[in-house]
Amino acid sequence: MAAESDKLFEITRTSEELSKLASNLLDLEEQLPCNRNQVIRPGSQLSEKLHFHDKNGNVVSAYPVIVDFRRLLQLHNTNPYHNNDVISGISNDNLLHAVVGLYDIALSEMTLDVLYATVCEKWARTIVLVQDMKDAVKDAEFRKKEKKEQMNGKSESDDESNKLDEKLNVDIGDDKYEEEEGSPSKFEGVFSDVEDDEEDDDEEEEDESDEEDFSVGIHSFIKSAVTRRKQRNVKETSLDEHDIGVESRIIGCLTFEKKYVRHKERVVHLTIVTVRPRYRKYGIGKYLLSQVIDSSVSGQYEAIVVHADNGAVEFFQKFGFSDDVVLNSRWSELAEQFTNCTLMCYLPGFTGHTVLSAINLPGLEVYEMDQELKKWKDKTLESYQAQITCVMRMKQEIFNLQKKVKCQDNMIKMLAVENEKVKQEKIILEKELMIQKLNTRTNMPGGEEELSTSELITRLQEEVNKLECSDIRLQIGSRIEEYKDLDVFPMSPLRKHQEPYDHMMDAALFYDISQQFKEAMHADPCIKIQYEVTSVHKATLSNEVKDRYKTATLALHDSNMVTQLYYCGGLENPQRLNQIMQTGFTEQDFSHGEFGRGLYFSKYPSRAAQFSAFSILVLVEVGLGSVETVTKPDRARTKPSSDADSIITPGRLYKLEDETHESMFNQEYVIFNTKQILPLCLINYVTADHGS
């Protein structure tokens, strides 16, 4: 009996629980009578029904929905018979037109084609606050009652009715947006919260476009919306669901787009946000911003960027957005079609938590912190402006100095030419004087009997040796260009007509090269032994080689950048050096070094000697042109950059741990074009002890 009693008790309790569950379901259905018209697709609704209050105690309720219009419309195009509407009873096309219409009323400076493209961008998402049908009907009834109280007579109603009739005379035609110059907003008769008069809508032919047009159906939507407005205005009985469209249910919306700046920084670009004028001051804008800031809605990001209207800057500042010019310069590439706007950004905390309500907490400490931060930003901006001003003025000063240096360089060249002419005249006069003295002594009576030929030669040599060393040194600088153009020694078989041997010219050349060699050796702190030049063999180049060099020099980016360097090569093939003195360099002389395949040169003979044959160096003239500084080794390099003619490197002897001033002696120039090089002479040298 006890077992049967327990079993009967369990059955009774189960029956009571099922009855209670059924009762609860019925109560829930009664509490939400309009849910059949407010069914939202799973995953699109962000939260339950929200209630927004203003300071006067008025309340407006709405459901937050997030929509990817581009994807929805493309799915509809692929399968038009499948119902994929986000909100039951509202087509996705009409929802799109309603959102764009609300944007168009609030942002009159943006054209409809731009608004459609922005809302339907590939990575764009739109958050829409939609009233349920029951609340929308109540709201429309309340506004209709208000309007009747404000009307002063039947004439005004008749005038408005006539204008509405004109509004309905819209030729549907090709039902998509066509831009019209000087026309008001297409949605002026749909989203006018103050019930302004409507104007005529005329269509124009639209140019064909390859891009997908999401504005298809705009005129049908506008005509339906205007018809519903007319019905609400003239209807004497209570309004029902058929009198309310989606344009009456949207109270606010926000569109954002996920982008990558410089292909690495994840940014949420808040493109458009607006709230219907009659629902402002309800905290709706704050809620929309909080949804974008929430990473669970917009995804992980490093910043939120917005192009705020100049009148909305203070609104965004209240919620943590900054209009700092230097900071926002990082997002300048997001400007796109936005004009007359202020670029602002929101940066989340390090922890990633975003509590929008904590941004504008009242209190003295927060105010003082904001003031200190503002002072710091102002000082930083002043410092940056001062630095930029200094840099720009220095840049202009450098331009002026370069111009002065160029003028001085031209003056020096002109004086050098004049000096060369004077010295040439001096040499000619000295030669004439020597010849005159020789002729005078030769023509003396009995001169042939008194002076022998050997005595005449000896005396002539003595006269030459009496020239002061100072005169020789003065001639050295002025004869350098002449030495560069010398083909061979006076006795070279290349000359058709041999000139008299000029001993003073060769003496000056030998002296100049010897002094240059000794000074360069002495400048290197690593060289402890003294060296001296034993002989100098001038190059015997053809006119073709020299003309080729001159042409290549004039074609450089900087034809004035010409200097003398020592060849860092010849160690592996020393017999090739004599051939270079006759025919010049070829690509077979290239070295496969750490900084590329080319000819390596150095200003210091001590470094060049380590790559050349024993006791032999080659002195060349090199047209460097525009020099590119290269520090990274690259054996595959075969030419400089497009705006350079040669490169300067740390050198093949450079070691990374060697950071002293002596490392500059390891620097090497690399030339990739043999036409930029003119061999001058072959130098033989020995140590000073060995030479003595």
Write down the pLDDT at residue 223: 87
pLDDT band at 417 (very low <50, low <70, confident <90, very high): very high
Q: Cβ neighbours of residue 628 under 8 Å, at least 6 residues apart?
A: 640, 641, 643, 644, 646, 647, 648
Model confidence at 568: pLDDT above 50: yes
Write the DSSP string, 447-506. Answer: HHHHS-HHHHHHHHHHHHHTS-HHHHHHHHHHTHHHHHH--S-TT-TT-SSPPPP-HHHH
Write down the pLDDT at residue 40: 58
Q: In the chain, pLDDT over 70 holds for what percent of residues?
A: 71
Domains and CATH numbers, the chain: 50-144+185-193+212-301 (3.40.630), 508-688 (3.90.228.10)
pLDDT band at 585 (very low <50, low <70, confident <90, very high): very high
DSSP state, 30?
H
Least confident of 219-223, 467-471, 542-546: 467-471
Inter-CA distances, 115 with 18, 94, 111, Å: 53, 15, 6
- Distance between first and last Cα of the chain: 139
Write down the pLDDT at residue 484: 45
Is this structure's pTM higher than 0.85? no
Strand bridging mode 59-67 / 124-130: antiparallel
Write down the pLDDT at residue 404: 92
Residue 281 backbone zone (phi > 0: left; psi -120 to 50: alpha; other: beta): left
In angstroms, rounded to a whole number, what is the distance separating the alpha carbons of residues 372 and 135? 47
For residue range 634-658, what is the model confidence (pLDDT) as tens digits? 999 999 998 999 999 988 888 766 6
Which residues are bridge partners to 686 per DSSP? 532
Q: Are 676 and 527 in contact (CB under 8 A)?
A: no
Model confidence at 328: pLDDT above 70: yes
In angstroms, rounded to a whole number, what is the distance separating the alpha carbons of residues 616 and 687? 12
Least confident of 14-18, 541-545, 676-680: 14-18
Q: What per-residue string of b and e applies to 456-495 under the rule 16 or more CB within 10 Å gives b? A: eeeeeeeeeeeeeeeeeeebbebbbeebeebeeeeeeeee
Q: In the chain, pLDDT over 90 holds for what percent of residues?
A: 18
DSSP state, 197?
P
Model confidence at 436: pLDDT above 50: yes
Sign of CA dihedral 380, 385, 390, 391: positive
Write down the pLDDT at residue 191: 61
Q: Exposed, middle or buried by CB within 10 Å (0-12, 13-18, 19+), for 357? A: exposed
Write down the pLDDT at residue 660: 65
Q: What are residue 344's phi and psi, to 5 degrees?
A: -135, 160
Write down the pLDDT at residue 574: 87
Least confident of 45-49, 262-266, 376-380, 479-483: 479-483
Structure tokens at 147: 């309007």
For residue range 87-123, what is the model confidence (pLDDT) as tens digits? 877 888 888 888 988 888 888 778 888 888 888 988 8
Write down the pLDDT at residue 460: 65
Write down the pLDDT at residue 470: 46
Model confidence at 596: pLDDT above 90: yes
Q: Which of 645, 474, 629 is nearest to 558 (CA)?
A: 645
In angstroms, rounded to a whole number, what is the distance separating the alpha carbons of residues 564 and 681? 11
Write down the pLDDT at residue 129: 92
Structure tokens at 39: 């069914």
For residue range 2-50, what is the model confidence (pLDDT) as tens digits? 555 555 556 566 656 655 555 554 454 444 444 444 455 655 788 888 9
Structure tokens at 412: 């020096």
Least confident of 88-97, 123-132, 500-509: 500-509
Q: Are 86 and 249 in contact (CB under 8 A)?
A: no
Q: Are 436 and 443 in contact (CB under 8 A)?
A: no
For residue range 611-629, what is the model confidence (pLDDT) as tens digits? 988 889 999 999 999 999 9
Write down the pLDDT at residue 487: 42
